[in-house]
Amino acid sequence: MRPKVLETRCGKSLWICRWSGYLALILMIGCSPSKPDQEVTPVDLDLTRDGQHTSGDWTYDYSITNPGTRSEGYHGTLSHNQIEVPDPIHINDYYETPWGRLYWLGQPPVLFGAHGWMPKPLVREPVRQALIDPAIVHSERFMVHVKILAPEELATPDRLEQDSAVLKALEPFGVTQVHVQRNWFPVGADPITLHDTKRWGMFTVCRADLNQRAAPTLEFSCTGDFTVDTLPKPVVLSELMAAPEFPARPSSLSLSPQIDTLQPIKCTLKSFVGEPLILYVMCRIEDQGPRGPWKSPARRVYESN
């Protein structure tokens, strides 16, 4: 029997022949082209009003302040698994989210304009690096090394910081010269003494995130009153006049899990009498790889000079 030949829509031949009472269909390879992988379409954000947007483990909180005025501001907060993501190092660092890319625009000290996480990058700055998906971040994979610096000589007049990268990281604080109090060392779960005097108290640091699926976090404690900041902020008179707390509550700061970056923390130790003591804790993060087991720093206690 002579087979019939049909033409398919894709231009390939489909042969139909009868064999032992059955229809045998022989479809030549390539008739139906394979479908490309379907890309996830970002969900649109309504930025015309305040709102909380949730998709999977991601949550984006958006708010507008002083609407309709010259001081109208826009604020975006990004969380993963109900934990706010830490501030990254650079402007225009970004996360890939269900709403597309969300860029870090920083926290400008003004009321108007964009603050925090926004769907569009800051035009005057280059687009930076994609940040590690929080879903695959485990804090133990990151080793945190710190260096202790002071703008005053204290007991180290001959140990000026020479590393240009460290000095550049301190530029936002208006610091051009610092003295090295402790060189690089790893921080673990055991508290490490950074300073211990009667005037300013005992100041310690440790990791507060081990065995958790979260960004690396440092916890600071002091027997006196203190503050820790990752960015400069204006001096508030009420804070200067407030009585110190003894002992002060521990303060935790999450670090951005970005490799080959320097993340400075300004620590201000207060006392009843005299000027406060300023210390800078410079943080450097080492990635130990996505799979354990990960090494932990040995138990070490650093005595103050």
pLDDT digits (tens, 9 = 90+) for 57-116: 999 999 999 999 999 999 999 998 888 888 888 899 999 999 999 999 998 889 999 999
Task: Work out the end-to-end distance of the chain between its first and last CA atoms, rounded to an integer number of angstroms.
Answer: 102
Question: In sequence order, what are the beta bridge partners of 286?
Answer: 143
User: How confident is the model at residue 156, as a pLDDT?
Assistant: 75
Q: Which residues are CB-contacts of 101 (< 8 A; sequence separation ≥ 6)? A: 94, 95, 119
pLDDT one-digit tens code per residue, 161-186: 999 999 999 998 999 999 999 999 99
Q: Where are the domains of the chain?
A: 1-32, 51-136, 139-287
DSSP for 220-237 reads EEESS-EEEESS-----H
Residues 115-121 have a mean pLDDT of 95
Q: What is the CA radius of gyration of the chain?
A: 28
pLDDT one-digit tens code per residue, 208-220: 876 565 678 899 9
Higher pLDDT, 279 or 252: 279
Confirm whether pTM is higher than 0.75. Answer: no
User: How confident is the model at residue 12, as a pLDDT?
Assistant: 43
Residue listed under structure tokens 């305040």: 50
DSSP for 177-207 reads --EEEEEEEEE-SS-EEEEEETTTEEEEEEE
Nearest to residue 14, comparing CAs of 38, 1, 33, 30?
Answer: 30
Distances (CA, A) of 300 to 83, 190, 220, 250, 294: 30, 8, 16, 20, 18
In angstroms, rounded to a whole number, what is the distance separating the alpha carbons of residues 201 and 211? 30
Distances (CA, A) of 234 to 151, 169, 173, 240, 244: 19, 19, 11, 11, 19
Q: What is the pLDDT of the chain when averaged over all its residues?
A: 78
Question: Looking at the predicted structure, is the pLDDT value of residue 139 above 70?
Answer: no
pLDDT one-digit tens code per residue, 240-267: 445 555 455 678 888 888 887 899 999 9
